[in-house]
Amino acid sequence: MNPGDFSILVVEDNSLIRKMIVHILRKYGFQVDDASDGQFALQKIKKNKPDLVILDIVMPVVDGLEVLSEVRKTQSQVELPIILVTAMQDSTDIVKGFQLGANDYLPKNFNQEELFARVNTALQIKSYHKLLKVRNNTIERELDIARLIQKKLLPASPPTLPGYEINSLYVPMDKVGGDYYDFFQMKEYTDIYMADVSGHGVPGAFLASVIKMVTQYTAQLGYDPTEILRVMDQAVSERGALGMFATAMIVRLYPESGEFQYSNAGHLPILIHRRSTNEFLEFTTSGAALGINYDFKKRDFLLGKSQLMHGDRMIIFTDGIIETFSESDIAFETNRWKEFLIEEKDTETKELLPKLLNELKSFSNRETFEDDLSIVVIDRY
């Protein structure tokens, strides 16, 4: 730390003590200004913006505690460190000073080494916080860029299929998240991918991008859902960090007939809401999570088949939806999930998903969530 980079304001009504402090600090190389009373000090703080203030408590007109209180209305202890100086032995004013936001305390019978040590410590802390703020701002900018990149990984719009309405919702827990969904439309069928990477933030987003690349590659080769999961499994194992894994569900929908195939890698089942009877059906196949299966299980993924009837609503989602908790620690899945779906069974999907998001916020009494949220809803007319 270079003392010449820092400016200090000394506020002391006793001219002898003020001159002594100024002399000592200048000897150590600091830029030093002074003020003889609190009113003058406030003017100089506002105009010159010093890096640190050494402040006498007992002064006429405006005392040190009044100055401290006024400064703390706009500047924190990190932004402007203030060291109190007093000759009084009574600790009442000192305690009051710390309560108002003083950084340190120095008796008037100090020696110059003690003065330098306290000033140096306060300025080092200020410098560390400033550096931390710069680094945090850099990280925030990089996360903003990562968020924009991840947004481009997700489909700009759902596919348009005659006789169907498809919509989706993605809400990352942080600026970037570990959930991923996508669509791939062929002449005879449309694939729907849903994946949930362990962890959040940049590592989760990176692994989600790996899965995105796999889906693009395998889709062009015409692989069936089990083969796509097999390639995903290997990619997650080889590209993910130690211990990372992902769950995934792939659905292949044949729009003309309503038939669909599906294969699961440790993900939540597909939920079908048969709205004509308010019956809920779940479809899944056994299969370990991506990465875990490749490393330990080495089992083939299985293929299931079923039929989406006219009037059915298919819901593919990640666990952030149903594992949103209320303030009384009740999961959304327990007493609200299917109730909500029944209440909104006639709501179009483009309106359903914003309503679901508001319902989750109301249920949890929070504006943010503890996990990423992803959901794809498919209605067949």
How much is the pLDDT for 208? 84
Q: Which two tokens stand for residue 271?
A: 């939920």
What pTM was estimated for this model as a whole?
A: 0.71
Q: What's the burial of 249, exposed, middle or buried (CB within 10 Å: 0-12/13-18/19+)?
A: buried
Cα 249 to Cα 235: distance, rounded to the nearest angstrom: 16
Contact (CB, 8 A) for 41 and 10: no
How much is the pLDDT for 200? 67
How much is the pLDDT for 18? 93
Q: If we measure between CA atoms, which residue out of 33, 8, 6 comes closest to residue 83?
A: 8
Contact (CB, 8 A) for 292 and 245: yes
How much is the pLDDT for 307? 97
Q: What's the burial of 221, exposed, middle or buried (CB within 10 Å: 0-12/13-18/19+)?
A: exposed
Contact (CB, 8 A) for 377 and 191: no
Sequence length of the chain is: 381
**Alpha-carbon torsion angle 210, 213, 215, 217, nearest 10:** -140
Task: Name, in order, each residue with C-beta under 8 angstroms of 82's C-beta and a sequence gap of 6 or more.
Answer: 52, 53, 54, 55, 68, 71, 101, 102, 103
Q: What's the burial of 279, exposed, middle or buried (CB within 10 Å: 0-12/13-18/19+)?
A: exposed
Residuewise pLDDT in 10s, the chain (381 residues)? 788 999 999 999 999 999 999 999 999 999 999 999 999 999 999 999 999 999 999 888 899 999 999 999 999 999 999 999 987 666 788 899 999 999 999 988 888 999 999 999 999 999 999 899 888 888 778 777 777 776 777 898 999 999 999 999 999 877 666 788 999 999 999 999 999 998 767 777 788 888 988 998 898 888 999 999 999 999 999 887 667 899 999 999 999 999 999 999 999 999 999 999 999 999 999 999 999 988 887 899 999 999 999 999 999 999 999 999 999 999 999 989 999 999 999 999 999 999 999 999 999 999 999 888 999 999 999
Instruction: Tell me 82's DSSP state.
Output: E
How much is the pLDDT for 279? 97
